[in-house]
Homo-oligomer: A and B are copies of this chain.
Amino acid sequence: MASIQTASPEAQDKTPRTDRGRKTLRKLLDAAAKEFGEKGFHEASISGITRRAGTALGSFYTYFESKDAIFRALVNDMSAQVASHAREGVEGKSDPFEIEQAALRAFLEFASDNKEIYRIIDEAEFVDPKSFRQHYETTAARILDRLKNGEASGSFREGMEEPHAWALMGMNVFLGLRYAVWSDTTDAERIASVANTMLRSGIGKTDG
């Protein structure tokens, strides 16, 4: 079994050092996503998580001290997964508008495959407000970096600021809610294209 290691003084989860440990941790987090996603935080249980993961209860406590701790780890994990899917989605692209379109498409596909993500991150607003806020602040900061890059390369207008990043994040989040989570017939490509045209030239008639 993996040895116990505390990643930071604040972290209540323990980072595994072996492949086997990492696999068990992954199984627990995936099972937690299903358990919290289906039942919500209050109805979810540690035994429900280990049953779904097919692991012993002892394994759970190797990595997490409590239901709160795995929930917090799950929010951070989902936030990181959103980021890594966006990164993969934009790989090889250099045009800033293409990058935004690919990032949104990757997010829509991820949300469609992981519909529980909204319920989990939204419930963090109540269960773990710090993680909730951190998820959106981190995501907005990442988007702002992309906007500044696009500005520097001459594709985006000068003056890209934090409000642009929050506006763009809001577009993406709500398109995901409507077309990836609430609808089974997601056409990620089309939705990402509509959003990209809005981003590129707005909705004014004289443009484009």
Contacts and interface: CB of A to CB of B under 8 A. Distances in A.
Given A119-B125, A126-B40, A169-B174, A160 B201 contact: no
Contact of A194 (B161, B178, B204): B161
Interface residues of A, number: 51
Instruction: Output the residue of A118, A119, A163 with the most chain B CB within 10 A.
Output: A163
How many chain copies does the complex carry?
2
A201 B198 contact: no
Nearest to A195: B167
Contacts of A162: 178
Binding site secondary structure of chain A: helix
Nearest to A178: B166
24 contacts: A40-B126, A42-B42, A119-B126, A122-B126, A133-B182, A136-B178, A154-B205, A156-B204, A157-B205, A158-B205, A163-B178, A163-B194, A166-B175, A166-B178, A167-B171, A170-B170, A170-B173, A170-B175, A198-B202, A199-B203, A200-B203, A200-B204, A201-B201, A201-B202
